Structure 1
């Protein structure tokens, strides 16, 4: 019961923070991965798609996304799903709140999933998913397709 109340409180706080800062920049990307190697690989691929990339661990990403900040938010978030980060994580709650107040439903969310993962994510959480191993040839077209769809 206490956990549900904490999540409800987090939801209300995040919604308030998101409502004040629903500006998302489609030229910026956030890479969230527990592994430093995965952060580097995913960042390099996003940079080749001409995005300004910021990469961080899931804990840091949760903190940044939940903070009320006048700075623009990333228009694209690439999340590496692994044993430390699951689809039910509070990170996705933050992303969903930001999307709900954004006129263009930003940030776009791409998840990197292990091939053994059978469950498909809900459509409101994720715009696309890429199966490991991630290559530039697999991820970059997905990034470009999603960004082209939100261009004014």
Structure 2
């Protein structure tokens, strides 16, 4: 049995890790059947964000460590910090949270989001890419003083 002693947030320095994360994101999106996905665009997005070349988005990669040695990727929080047209105050936008080698990565992701929120006035989080949107909703209410505001996804008619 492997006992993990720590979870470390770090930048990705290994292209194999980026490839593995991109594959996990694509597999996740296929599993939850996100409509109209261009998987080439998804792959490019993950590479650009993790290489630090994306215009607006960033990521926190959480590694599993045992006795100082990396033994896996716990998960990744993709996010952006910016402003809306109606405010000069910074706001945190959760783009996607994906667990990879760890069951229960959501608890770690909450700690990451709380740290990222320190300079921000609010967090915009949507469950549109969540495997279980209800779990996401309960988690946000449990760990944050979350207010629910309706958001609608309306697809163009294909007629």
User: Shorter-chain TM-score: what band?
Assistant: 0.3 to 0.5
Q: Mark the structure with the bigger radius of gyration.
A: 2
State the TM-score, normalized to the length of structure 1. Answer: 0.34
Q: Which has a greater percent of helix?
A: 1
Higher relative contact order (CA 8 A, sep 6+): 1
